[in-house]
Amino acid sequence: MKNSALTITTIFLLSLAYYSFGGATSAVGPTFVSGTISTDTTWVVTDSPFVVQGVLTIASGVTLTIDPGVVVKFDSPASHIIVHGNLNSNGTLSQPVTFTSINDDSVGGDTNNDGPSTGQPGQWRAIFFLSGTSILNHTNVFFRGTSHGPTILLFANLAVAGGNLTINSGRVAESSGNNIAISSGNLNISGTEIDHAGLDGVLQTNGVTSIVNSSIHDNFRGVAVTGGTAFITQSSIQNNASLGVNKNSPSDMDTRNNFWGDSTGPFHTTNLGGLGNPVSDNVLFKPFLLTNPLVNQAPFVTGLHQLKSDGLTTINESAITTEDTVIFKATLTDPQKDQSKLQVELRQFSEPFTGIDDGGILESGFFLSGSQATIQRFGFVNGQYKWRVRAIDSQNNESP
């Protein structure tokens, strides 16, 4: 009996191994989808890529959840998704969700088995949001086309005609028409790159849009608004071919505190020295940002002093001190309020500054932005010295 039991165990293990092997090699994606999703559904990465054939509809009240890392491809220029319910795309920084063309082999492999191929603008239609509440986190949307649905006159990768759409930390790019359009409902965009649309980065004919911490660049127009209410702040709007922002209705649009590609601000008849992306009339753009809020900037040094060992008595420039201790103090301010440290390079007068940490470079600890950093140097021997300082933030950005 004992031997028999062992034999059975062996067969069982072999059997397990067989199924495990089979599972790893059986077809895992592409998963073809079309028709109507009428119960709550989750798309998981093991079934990816998903290929939308023709039209896929998410029914009212129903939620489609898309897991991190999932790739969704559209199989033709007519292919699109209509959202009546809710679309929750849960990408992460390391595992974004991607919507793209069947021809795009850069994600999800050679799904259409035609050898290496690349996506081009115009290869699918759109995702239409008609109602419900949808959220796209870390989601990339590429390559839609100019053709449009029979009843929805928006030419966009993402077209909002009702409900609420939130786009966080994604990229919407390379539409042959508009990247994002809204004719009704609410659109909230943050931390998102919107670029290379053949027409507008964002087009609004009506509805309510807010854009923060986003980069809108290399579209024909960055943002175009003909109705409704739109607001952009703490964003970078640059290198759009025609206008950075076009407000084609009488009331002012609030675009204060954005960066327009140049510290002189956007070009407009009220800002003739502006070298940045031009804006139309009815765009409230002052104050504008002098630097790109999406690029971490170096801290700067103010209130620099060299002091005697009491920490109070100033040693003037080129002065002589008989003490062997010098204290350096300076205020460090960082545009992003990053913590920063003070660095002093100290050399014999006859030696060049090298930037090499050979004992001649002293550093403070990290300080909160706006506070005073102190460095104390002991044990000077008689001689002539020179020094220079810089500030370095926690992101390793160095002041000049």
Instruction: Give the position of tokens 């071919």.
Output: 241
Q: Which is nearer to Ca ion, 322 or 396 (CB)?
A: 396
d(CA 89, CA 140): 10
Shortest Å, Cβ 113 to Ca ion = 7
- Closest-CA residue to 300 (of 345, 330, 329, 327): 330
Give the C-alpha separation, 185 to 36, whole Å.
23
Element (H, E) at 127: strand 126-129
Q: How far is the CB of 298 from Ca ion (least distance, A)?
A: 6
Q: Is the dihedral of CA 192, 34, 78, 165 positive or negative?
A: negative
Least distance (Å) between residue 114 CB and Ca ion: 5
The C-alpha atoms of residue 61 and residue 85 are separated, in whole angstroms, by 5
Which is closer to Ca ion, CB of 124 or CB of 129? 124
| Structure-token pair, residue 124 | 């699918």
Phi, then psi, of 169 in degrees rounded to 5: 55, 45
CA distance 3 to 122: 67
Name the phi and psi angles at 200, rounded to 5: -100, 145
Residue 387, phi then psi, degrees to nearest 5: -155, 160
Asked if 97 contacts 73 with a C-beta cutoff of 8 angstroms, the reply is: no
- Residue 226, Cβ neighbours under 10 Å: how many? 13
CB nearest Ca ion: which residue?
117
Q: Quick one: 190 or 297, whose CB is closer to Ca ion?
A: 297
Could you tell me which residues come within 8 angstroms of residue 184 by beta carbon, excluding any fewer than 6 positions away?
160, 161, 162, 206, 207
Shortest distance in whole angstroms from residue 335 CB to Ca ion: 6
Residue 376 neighbours by CB under 8 Å, 6+ apart? 325, 326, 327, 328
Q: Which CB atom, from 200 or from 338, has the smaller least distance to Ca ion? A: 338
Beta carbon nearer to Ca ion, 75 or 338: 338
Residues that bind Ca ion (CB under 5 A): 105, 110, 112, 114, 117, 296, 334, 336, 338, 393
Query: 242 or 394, CB closer to Ca ion?
Result: 394
Nearer to Ca ion, 110 or 323 (CB): 110
Smallest gap, in angstroms, from Cβ of residue 333 to Ca ion? 10
Q: How far is the CB of 177 from Ca ion (least distance, A)?
A: 23
Quick one: 117 or 321, whose CB is closer to Ca ion? 117
Cβ pair 311, 298 in contact under 8 A: no
Residue 38 Cβ vs Ca ion, minimum distance, rounded to whole Å: 31
**Closer CB to Ca ion, 136 or 330, in the complex:** 330
Nearest-approach distance from CB 103 to Ca ion, in angstroms = 6
For the CB of residue 391, give the shortest distance to Ca ion in the complex, in Å: 9
- Residues 6+ positions from 286 with CB-CB distance below 8 Å: 256, 265, 271
H-helix or E-strand containing 334? none
191, β-bridge pairs:
none
Q: 100 or 209, CB closer to Ca ion?
A: 100
Minimum distance from CB of 164 to Ca ion (Å)?
33
